[in-house]
Amino acid sequence: MTGQSHAHSSVKASGRGGVLDERWVRQHLIARGLIEPDVLIAVEPLTGGISSDIVAVSGPAIDLVVKRALPRLRVDEEWLADAGRLITEGQALRLAHTLVPNAVPAVVDLDEDTLTLVLARAPRSWTNWRDDLLAGAIDPTIGGRLGEMLATWHRETAGSLTPVSAFGNVDSFVQLRINPFFRTVARRHPVVAQRIERTADRLLSTKACLVHGDFSPKNILTGEGSQWVLDWEVAHVGDPTFDLGYLIAHLVLKAVHRRAWAMNFQAVARAFLDGYRQAEASLQFSRNDLAETAACLLLARVDGKSPAEYLSAADQRHVRALALDALSSTPLDVLGTWVRG
């Protein structure tokens, strides 16, 4: 939202302990005309995220997800962010659906006054891609399809005549990515701080296309040959290497964690990049920029404000060494098998 700050960032989450409770959710859905007053519903908290309260709502012909962004994220260190990013998410989901139908959950309702987003719920048989990958269900075709989808979003929002004026504000990207993932890590690793800061500056100064900002396996649901990409809270006009590097970094993390499956994760990474390259025909960026972004994000997931929770202490040391080696030399020499495809 160019030149605009979110006026409702101080709105507090309703319900016990900050979790949306059944009474508030029912009242909200009735007020928005989404359910009748006499309809019985069940409200079930959904887990897995640190930045939002999310519940599933079910009932007769009702299968919804209700979401509100948290002003303070659920991590050990203090991490504050404007809750108005939920408005950005709703707008981004609508645009993403227009460009790639059925690749994101449908927006049922966006209430900008209470900062509440209501979405369609995925079929119950669908699974979270991160859980699948960690369990050994590592399918490169999913990586290829995700690469094609991401390329379409990037390609179709590139240039000055695209409908992305609502995503010019990078405040949430700074609060949720640049500060905790780059500035924090730069302070903790002064030897490579200059390179990390330079990467952060590039990510902020580049205005190439709509960037998702959280393109990771945990935000992807898959089933029946289809995928949904969730959590567009930090969508902004920016550098496409962030989305590419973010997913590549997550695949490297999982390859370190599950070393017996490392080549399978590499196959997914290659399929992802191949799918992206085949579908994208206009954006230009260097391999070094992509590798540098991925290396910074690797380091962030061990020494930033939100470390990957599944990594052991030995895994963390391995990832840290890999990232520091990359940032101390030429990233492609270390991450080449991942970024060259």
The pLDDT of residue 53: 82
The pLDDT of residue 54: 85
The pLDDT of residue 50: 61
Distance CA 105, CA 118 (A): 10
Tell me the domains of the chain and their CATH numbers: 16-120 (3.30.200.20), 127-339 (3.90.1200.10)
Where are the extended beta strands (E) located within the chain?
42-45, 52-59, 62-69, 107-111, 116-120, 127-128, 209-211, 220-223, 226-229, 236-238
Distance CA 229, CA 278 (A): 20
Residue 108 near residue 120, CB atoms below 8 Å: yes
Q: Exposed, middle or buried: residue 44 (CB in 10 Å: 0-12, 13-18, 19+)? A: exposed
The pLDDT of residue 19: 56
The pLDDT of residue 22: 86
The pLDDT of residue 166: 81
The pLDDT of residue 161: 56
Structure tokens, 336: 């080449």
Question: Mean pLDDT of residues grouped by 10 in the chain (341 residues)?
Answer: 34 44 90 93 78 85 88 51 79 96 96 91 96 97 97 89 78 92 96 97 96 96 96 94 96 94 94 92 82 95 91 95 86 49 38
Closest CA to 221 of 325, 128, 147: 128
